[in-house]
Structure 1
């Protein structure tokens, strides 16, 4: 039996934390029962560690060690700092949905448009019949951090996009941290109807004064038939923050899902994606970039389940590592027995700018069908010395020459973003990281 005592800086065990948080958690009856069951699952499993295969390279017992108490609900001062933080990350023209320290901030968010339904998780769990909406806390995953999220989720957004709606404006979900040495747990749901088209931007940012916080967010998305979703994630947490985010997708027939993630902030971060292709002839494209330095640890773990015939998936990951940074990529493609004509590929590449940097890559294939085309690859290495010499011979300083080569290295992943304005925003974020490194 795997027993773990998780103590906070106030010497509380994990059980104490859940007990003290209960008064702030929305929902009674069946919802409260599901929370208790989810926390019991987490206590049984404990914080993931290196002996758990899926967490082999991201040992939370060693890296995270403790669970911090829930952040207080944001007051006027916190909301003011959150508003200031939005200026640097808000996408012009987007429909903004803002969560501050795990609580939906209506005064910083935009209203819904025609064809969009919007509720907060708190309102749904508190005001609607618990028996009928308790499923918002349910997932089929047995991951301990998803179970912990179900137990402690304080808020989130529940969004529905009607059939056939083609949003002309991006939908932006923004997580803002204002607290220090505290935690947030949010759970959001997005239901995209048949034939709908959506650009979703998800951003994590720290307000001035936020430090050493922990974020545990879960986003659950259902994509209908003949639909299209572009989901872009930009992680800009505080330098000493921890962010564990889980995204769970189900994709219908003849649909397209394009997922992009870039991590450049935070001390410890992990994006774990669980994507199930449930409809035939759907297309999945995943691109990721880690830009890490110092002692940053960034993990992207993906499980793609081809459950039906005729689907295509592409995974392309790039990591740029300086100093003693550590990047992890784990990609698993599962092809079920009935999923004939599957076409699945993944490739991960790491660029090491320091002798002390570390990249762990673990691509996997589990194939139970015979008529498939699947493959994977992984490489790691330093900058090409001949190209570097070529640029320096033409008068470029070393770090500027390196920056040009790094831009080319990550450019393939970023170019997969179809929307030009959103692609330019990601390019600007990558350039900001390079410029900060150049001026050190």
Structure 2
């Protein structure tokens, strides 16, 4: 039966009709966009009756849909980059996407080229013969509504290709800047060649009001490649923040990521991890802080499709006020994926009686020679530890801050990227200062 569309869904269809002639892409890309719009038309936005969105009902949250953001002024983008420098003095290369479009003038293209990294505007890639490859759905979540929304409206982004054997000395910050109101929809492809090594920082600055931010990051790590991706989602934005990772991991490769969320009204960080080569490893970490009436969702699906691979998932959540936290994690082990080793743990700290945490770790195992485990905990601050600190003259608020920082820092430090640890812990202190 046809569904009755909400105001936001009707706005999205109007947005598409108004923008489709300006959206980049070949004929094949346009067909993918049309198919994605048809999916939204048939199913609507993701809602609580869709199992993966049971605890984070996007359809109920989005009351309307803003138009796509207009082209950014470079001067305003530079100003925001200076004002909201999230990693301080950390030496890094920078790639800038402003209001959904890649800004070459503010990006370190030549410096990266000298280290074996090629950077291409996504819109140029979409117009090419193989442009449709950049909008393909993830195998693990082929019907995901957020990815469909991204496919329909993607404005631009970057394609980053690390040459075979290239080791990029500095981290690369891929920063999304919103200089005006409106929605921002981007797709970014990161390809690490065989034996290559890249550390990626994904940041988001500026305000977009009620408009959603929808960004998809498509990672491809070739054999013996290494990729570490740190995602920082902070700020008191009122619109939905929808971030998706699609990772394909080759043989003897290493992939690790940390998704850090603090402040947005509605934030969902979802990851689809696919092992395609043997003897590889994935380490996935999450740090979440939410207060007031915020909702923060960390969703993860790891597909062990080949033997002899390891995965570790470790997530920490702190909730205050009436906030709701969500963790949904699933490890899939295929029948022939013997010798798989997978461990998943999610821990939540509730600072108020009204805070609520939904933990849903899952294992789906079809092989018989595996080591897999999962666990979940939720609780309050340990009163004995709090008393211990107060008995030594530390004020109660400061003592609570120390305990919360220690709780979250366990995941940050296990992530192991020492040069970004200080910046992440500074963001924790900033959030705690307001709660």
In the superposition, the TM-score normalised over structure 1's length comes to: 0.93
Task: Provide, for residues 164-203 of structure 1, a one-character-per-residue CA deviation record: whole Å limited to 9, x for no partner.
Answer: 11110111111122223x2111001011111111111111
Give the equivalent residue in structure 2 for 1:201.
201
Q: What is the Cα deviation at residue 40 of structure 1?
A: 0.9
Q: What is the Cα deviation at residue 65 of structure 1?
A: 3.2
Q: What is the Cα deviation at residue 296 of structure 1?
A: 1.1
Give the equivalent residue in structure 2 for 1:270.
268
Give the equivalent residue in structure 1 for 2:379.
381
Match of 1:396 among 384, 391, 394: 394
Secondary structure of 1:332's counterpart equals: strand
In structure 1, stretches of 5+ residues that fail to align are none
- Partners of 2:188 and 2:395 in 1: CA distance: 46
Give the equivalent residue in structure 2 for 1:3.
3
Alignment pair present for 1:158 and 2:159:
yes
Q: Which moved more, 1:350-359 or 1:58-67?
A: 58-67
Give the equivalent residue in structure 1 for 2:232.
234
- 1:35–1:150 contact (8 Å) kept in structure 2: yes
- 1:179–1:213 contact (8 Å) kept in structure 2: no
- Partners of 1:314 and 1:392 in 2: CA distance: 35
Aligned residues: 429
Task: Provide, for residues 201-242 of structure 1, a one-character-per-residue CA deviation record: whole Å limited to 9, x for no partner.
Answer: 1112225xx433310111100001111111111111433231
Match of 1:246 among 244, 247, 252: 244
Secondary structure of 2:411's counterpart equals: helix
Q: What is the Cα deviation at residue 356 of structure 1?
A: 0.5
In structure 2, stretches of 5+ residues that fail to align are none
Give the equivalent residue in structure 1 for 2:150.
149
CA 1:352 to 1:412, structure 2 compared with 1: closer, same or farther past 3 Å?
A: same
Secondary structure of 2:165's counterpart equals: coil
Give the equivalent residue in structure 2 for 1:363.
361
Alignment pair present for 1:257 and 2:258:
no
Give the equivalent residue in structure 1 for 2:329.
331
CA 1:44 to 1:91, structure 2 compared with 1: closer, same or farther past 3 Å?
A: farther
Give the equivalent residue in structure 1 for 2:61.
63
- 2:87–2:420 contact (8 Å) kept in structure 1: no
- 1:6–1:14 contact (8 Å) kept in structure 2: no
Give the equivalent residue in structure 2 for 1:312.
310
Task: Provide, for residues 259-297 of structure 1, a one-character-per-residue CA deviation record: whole Å limited to 9, x for no partner.
Answer: 111101211000110000111111111110111111111
Give the equivalent residue in structure 1 for 2:346.
348
Alignment pair present for 1:119 and 2:120:
yes
- Partners of 1:314 and 1:76 in 2: CA distance: 41
- Partners of 1:82 and 1:4 in 2: CA distance: 40
Q: Which moved more, 1:272-281 or 1:87-96?
A: 87-96
- 1:165–1:196 contact (8 Å) kept in structure 2: yes
Task: Provide, for residues 274-321 of structure 1, a one-character-per-residue CA deviation record: whole Å limited to 9, x for no partner.
Answer: 000111111111110111111111000000000011111111111001
- 2:263–2:291 contact (8 Å) kept in structure 1: no
- 2:199–2:227 contact (8 Å) kept in structure 1: yes
- Partners of 2:36 and 2:15 in 1: CA distance: 14
Q: What is the Cα deviation at residue 12 of structure 1?
A: 5.0
- Partners of 1:90 and 1:251 in 2: CA distance: 31
- Partners of 1:268 and 1:185 in 2: CA distance: 16
Q: What is the Cα deviation at residue 91 of structure 1?
A: 6.1
Q: What is the Cα deviation at residue 67 of structure 1?
A: 2.3
- Partners of 1:33 and 1:82 in 2: CA distance: 36
Q: How does 1:20-99 map to 2 (within 5 A)?
A: 20-76=18-74, 78-89=76-87, 92-99=90-97
In the superposition, the TM-score normalised over structure 2's length comes to: 0.95
Q: How does 1:271-310 map to 2 (within 5 A)?
A: 271-310=269-308
- 1:48–1:61 contact (8 Å) kept in structure 2: yes
Give the equivalent residue in structure 1 for 2:174.
173
- 1:170–1:199 contact (8 Å) kept in structure 2: yes
Alignment pair present for 1:183 and 2:183:
yes
CA 1:266 to 1:340, structure 2 compared with 1: closer, same or farther past 3 Å?
A: same
